[in-house]
Chain A
Amino acid sequence: MKFFSLFKKEVREMLTFQTILSLVFGVLLFIVLGSVMKGVQEDASNQMLEGMGKLAISDQDQSALSQQVLQQMRDQGYQIELLEGSDDEILRAAQEKGYQSALVIPEGFEQGIEKGGEPQKIRLLNEIKGGGMTSLMSGAEGSVEAINDTLSAILIEEGGYEDAAFVRNPVVADEFTYVGDKSVNVSASVLSGLIMMQGIFIPIIVFILVMFASQMTVSAIANEKADKTLETLLCAPVSRFSVLGAKMLAAALVALLQAVVFMFGFRFYMGGMTAGAMEGASGIGTALNTLGLTLGPADYLLVGLQMFLTIMIALCLSTMLGAMANDVKSAQTAVMPIMLLIMVPYFFTLFLDVNTLSGVGKYLLYAIPFTHTFTAANNVMFGNYTVFLGGLAYQAVFFAVLMFLTVKLFNSDKLFTMQLNFGKKKKVAAE
C-alpha cells in the first residue's frame, strides 16, 4: 500500500501535461509523416509502374535488328516513343513527353551483336533533379533489361551463337547522368546514394547544433532567473541590451565554433567518401565534381552562414522561452516547441525534396525557418540559388523580428512578471 502510494506519486510527477502533450505530438508527427510518405511512395511506385510499359528510345543504328527488337517490344505491349537528336536533346524531348529517362541504341549496334563476344552498350540517359529520397528514385534500369530480354529471345530463336553468356545478356547499359546541362558517364543510382549520404549528414549536424545551443541558452537563462543573478546583473550600471547582447553573442560564438568544427568534419567526411569512391575505380568523385554536386569553399561559406542564422534564430527563441520559464525544469520542457520546429522539417527533408512538393505543403514547410537550413546544401549543390537566397533572406528577416521581440522582452516588466506554462500565461503575484 505504501509502495503503491509512492508509485502513484512518482507516476503523477512524471506524467505531466507536457509529457502527455509531447507524446501526443510525437504520435501525430509520425502519423502525418507516415501518410505523407505513403503518398509519396505510392506516387513513386505508380510512376515506376507507368514507366515500365513506356520507353523513350532513339534508334541511331536504324538496322534490321534494332527495328526487330523495337517491333517485338511493341508487340509485347510496350509503348515506345521514338526520338532523334543529340543525347542532350533526346533526354529533354523525353522529359517533355513525361519520360524520366531515355535510351539510345547507338550506331553499329547490329554489327556488334553479330560479331558476338562483348555485350553491346545501350546508352541510358537519366537526370537527377533534387536531393530528396524520392527525387532520386528511378526505374530506368528496368527498360534496359526489357530490351536485353527481347534481344536475348531473338538471338536464342535465331540460334548459331555459342557463347551462352552473351546470348543471355547481349546488352549492357552505358549510363549517363545529367544534372542541369552537365553530364557524366556514371550510374544515376550510385550518384544518388552519395547525394543521399551528403543530404543526411548536414541535417544531422544542424539538428544537433540547434538542440545543443537551445538547451544551453534556455538552461543558462532559467538558471540566472532562478538564482536571481539576472536581477543583480540588470541592476548594475549596464544596459539591458548589453546583458542580452553579451549572452547571445557568447552563445552564438560557441555555436559558430561548433558549426565551423562540424563543417570541417563534414568536408573531411565527404573528401574521404569521394576519394574512396575514386579508389574504387568508378571515378565517382570526379563525376560529382563534374556535375557540380560537391560543395566548394564558397558553398561551405553559404551553408555555414545559413547554419549560423539558424542557430541565432534558435537562440532568440530559447532566450525568450528561458526568460519566461518558471524554473530550470520547466525551461527544459519549454524547448519542446523549438524541438518540434526542427523535427518536422528534419524528417520531411530527409525523405522529400521540398522543392518538388506542390501547393500548401511546400509553403507550410518553408514557413518553418529551419527547413531552409535542411535544404541549403542540396539547393546549393543543385544550383537552386534563388530558393537558397530566398531562404537566407527569410531567415534574416525572421531573426531580425525575433531579436526585436527578445530585446523588447528584456526591456519590459514581463521579464520578471510573465511565466510560461505551455501557452498558459500567468502573472506572478506581487509581494
Chain B
Amino acid sequence: MQEKALVIEDLCKTYRSSKNGDVKAVDHVSFDIDKGEVFALIGPNGAGKTTTIRMVATLLKPTSGNILVDGIPVAEKAEKVREVITYLPDEAGAYKSMTGIGYLQFMASLFTADKEKAKEYVDAACSINKLGDRLKDKIGSYSRGMIRKLLLSRAVMTRPALAILDEPTSGLDIINALDIRRMIRSLAKEGMSFLVSSHNMLEIEYVSDKVGIINKGKLLAVGKAQELKQRCGAENLEEVFEKVVSGDEVF
C-alpha cells in the first residue's frame, strides 16, 4: 500500500455566528495525498479551501472528522504534526527588519536546536531560492517575487512530510511564477508532498498530480486533471471547474 502524507476523513468545520446562525465552512470533506504527490485544492472564494488548509496546518480545530499527517493525528498531537509540516499562507510577508539569511536562520532555529542541522536547512533554502548576495539585505528591500521565493525556500528547507502552500504564486510575474512551479515539481520528484491551493487553473494543471474541487464546504470532485477533463468532456480544467461548481457535473 502506498504511504500517505495526508489523510482527511469526514472533516467538518462549523462557525457559530450570532448573525447567520451556524455556518458550515467545511462539510464532510475526505481525501488523501500520497507521498511525493502534489494535491491541488481548488474552489471559488469562500468555498472552504483556506479553512481546510488551516485545519491541516493545526491553526484551526476541526468540529469533527480526522486528519492524519504522515500517520500522526492532528487533533491529539498537533505539536508533533508541526514538526513534519510547513505552511506558506497566501500573500504572507516576512519580518522586514531581518535580512533574508537572518530570517532563514531564525526559522531553522524553530525546527531544530542542532546548529549543524540548522545550517543544513539554511544552505538548502539558499540553494533553492537563488537569491545570492541579496540574502544579506533587509527583507524590507525585497520585491514581492523575492519574498515569495524566500518564503517558499523556507517552507521546503526542512524537507517536511507535507508542505502546505496557499496560492504559492499569487501576485507574481510569469517568470517568478514559473520558477516556483518548477521548484515544486522538482521537490515532489524528490519525494516531498504538497497540498496546494490556487485559483490559477493553468498552474494547477502544470503542477498537480491530483485535483480536488471544493464549493460551499463540500468536496465535489477528486481526481487527476486529465481524468476530470475526460469525465466532464471538457477541454481544460477551467471548464471542469465551471461545470462542477455550477452543479452541471456531479461525481
* Residues 388-431 (chain A) with a chain B CB within 8 angstroms: 413, 416-417, 425, 427, 429-431
Report which of B16, B20, B45, B91 forms a contact with A228, defined as CB distance below 8 A. B91
The residues of B that contact A431 with a CB separation of less than 8 Å are 45-51
Give Cα A317–Cα B22 distance, bound, in whole angstroms.
Answer: 29
Whether the pair A430, B85 counts as a contact (CB closer than 8 A) is no
Q: Which of B81-96 contact A (CB under 8 A)?
A: 82-83, 85-95
Residues of A within 8 A of B54 (CB): 231, 416
| Cβ A239 vs Cβ B94 within 8 A | no
Q: Write out the residue numbers on chain B whose beta carbons fall within 8 Å of the beta carbon of A232.
A: 87-89, 92, 107, 151
Asked if A227 CB lies within 8 Å of chain B CBs, one says yes
Instruction: Identify which of residues 226-245 in chain A touch chain B, using a CB-to-CB cut-off of 8 Å.
Output: 226-229, 231-239
Query: Taking the nearest CB of chain A, how far is it from the CB of B16, in angstroms?
Result: 8
| Whole-angstrom distance between the Cβ of A431 and the nearest chain B Cβ | 4
Query: In the complex, A154→B151 CA distance in Å?
Result: 95
B189 CB, nearest partner CB in chain A, Å: 25
Residues on the B chain within 8 Å of A417, using CB: 15, 60
Chain A residues, Cβ within 8 Å of B61: 413
Answer yes or no: B143 CB below 8 A from chain A CBs.
no
| Distance between A337 CB and nearest chain B CB, rounded to angstroms | 21
Q: Is the CB of A237 within 8 A of B15?
A: no
Contact B111 A237 (CB under 8 A): yes
Cβ contacts under 8 Å, A228 to chain B? 89-93
Residues of B within 8 A of A427 (CB): 15-17, 20, 23
Residue B79, interface by CB 8 Å: yes
A229 touches B94 (CB 8 A): yes
Chain A contact residues (Cβ within 8 angstroms of B): what range?
20 to 34
- Collect the chain B residues with CB atoms within 8 Å of residue A235's CB: 57-59, 82, 85-87
B25 beta carbon closer than 8 Å to chain A: yes
> Chain B residues with Cβ under 8 A from A236's Cβ?
82, 107, 110-111
Q: Which residues of A contact B23 (CB under 8 A)?
A: 427, 430
Bound form: Cα–Cα A425–B19 in Å: 10
As a 0/1 sequence over residues 52 to 79 of chain B, the CB contacts with chain A under 8 angstroms (1 = contact) are 0010011111000000000000000001
In the complex, what residue of chain A is closest to B84 when comparing beta carbons? A237
> Which residues A108-127 have CB closer than 8 A to chain B?
none
- Chain B contacts for A425, CB-based, 8 A: 18
- Interface membership of chain A positions 200-223, coded 1 if the CB is closer than 8 angstroms to chain B and 0 otherwise: 000000000000000000000000
Q: Tell me how far the C-beta of B174 lies from the nearest C-beta in chain A, rounded to whole angstroms.
A: 24
Residue with the greatest number of chain B CB neighbours at <10 A, chosen from A229, A234, A235, A427: A235
B222 within 8 A of A: no
Measured CA separation A123–B153 after assembly (Å): 84
Smallest Cβ-Cβ distance to B82: which chain A residue: A237
A238 CA to B111 CA, complexed, in Å: 8
Say yes or no: A237 contacts B93, CB within 8 Å: no
Whether the pair B82, A430 counts as a contact (CB closer than 8 A) is: no
**Of the residues A237, A238, A239, A430, contact of B51 by C-beta under 8 Å:** A430
Q: Size range of the interface on B?
A: 35 or more
* In the bound complex, CA of A413 to CA of B16 (Å): 12
Q: Does B111 contact A430, Cβ atoms closer than 8 Å?
A: no
A229 touches B92 (CB 8 A): yes
Q: Is the CB of A430 within 8 A of B110?
A: no
CB of A234, distance to nearest CB on chain B (Å): 6
Closest to B14 in A: A430
A413 to B59, CA, bound (A): 7
User: Which single member of B16, B46, B83, B93 contacts A227 (CB below 8 Å)?
Assistant: B93
Contact B110 A238 (CB under 8 A): yes
A411's closest neighbor in chain B, by CB? B61
Q: Is the CB of A430 within 8 A of B48?
A: yes
- Among A227, A429, A430, chain B packs the most CB atoms within 10 A around the CB of A430
Chain B residues whose C-beta falls within 8 Å of the C-beta of A238 in the assembled complex: 82, 110
Chain A positions within 8 Å of B151 at CB level: 232
Q: Which residue of A lies closest to B111 (CB)?
A: A237
B237 proximal to A (CB < 8 A): no
List, in ascending order, chain A residues with CB within 8 A of B88's CB: 232
Closest to B155 in A: A232
Inter-chain contacts of B148 with A (CB < 8 A): none
Contact B89 A430 (CB under 8 A): no
Chain B contacts of A231 at CB under 8 A? Answer: 54, 57, 59, 87, 89, 92
Q: How far is the CA of A333 from the CA of B50 in the complex (A)?
A: 28
Q: How far is the CA of A227 from the CA of B13 in the complex (A)?
A: 25
Whether B26 is near chain A, meaning CB under 8 Å from some CB there, is yes
Q: Whole-angstrom distance between the alpha carbons of A431 and B217 in the complex? A: 9
Minimal beta-carbon separation of A271 from chain B (angstroms)? 38
The chain B residue sitting closest to A234, CB to CB, is B59
Are A430 and B46 closer than 8 Å at their CB atoms? yes
Q: Which residues of A contact B111 (CB under 8 A)?
A: 236-237
| Residue picked from B45, B49, B87, most chain A C-beta under 10 Å | B87
Q: Which of A237, A425, A431 has the most CB of B within 10 A?
A: A431
Q: When chains A and B are docked, how far (Å) is the Cα of A291 from the Cα of B72?
A: 69
For the complex, give the distance between the alpha carbons of A251 and B86 in Å.
Answer: 28
Nearest opposing residue in chain A for B85, CB measure: A235
- Structural contact, B25 and A430, CB atoms closer than 8 A: yes
Closest approach, in angstroms, between the C-beta of B146 and any C-beta of chain A? 15
Are A416 and B59 closer than 8 Å at their CB atoms? yes
What does the 1/0 interface line of A45-63 toward B look like (CB < 8 Å)? 0000000000000000000
Residue ID in chain A nearest B16 by CB atoms: A427
Interface flags, B98-115, vs A, CB<8A=1, else 0: 000000000100110000
Closest 8 CB pairs of A and B: A430-B25, A227-B93, A431-B50, A228-B92, A235-B87, A228-B89, A236-B110, A430-B51
Which B residues are closer than 8 A to A by beta carbons?
A: 13, 15-18, 20, 23, 25-26, 45-51, 54, 57-61, 79, 82-83, 85-95, 107, 110-111, 151, 217
Of the A-B pairs whose beta carbons lie under 8 Å apart in the complex, a sample of 23, sorted by A's number, is A226-B93, A229-B92, A231-B57, A231-B89, A232-B151, A233-B110, A235-B82, A235-B86, A235-B87, A236-B111, A237-B79, A237-B82, A237-B83, A237-B110, A413-B61, A416-B60, A427-B15, A429-B46, A430-B13, A430-B51, A431-B47, A431-B49, A431-B50
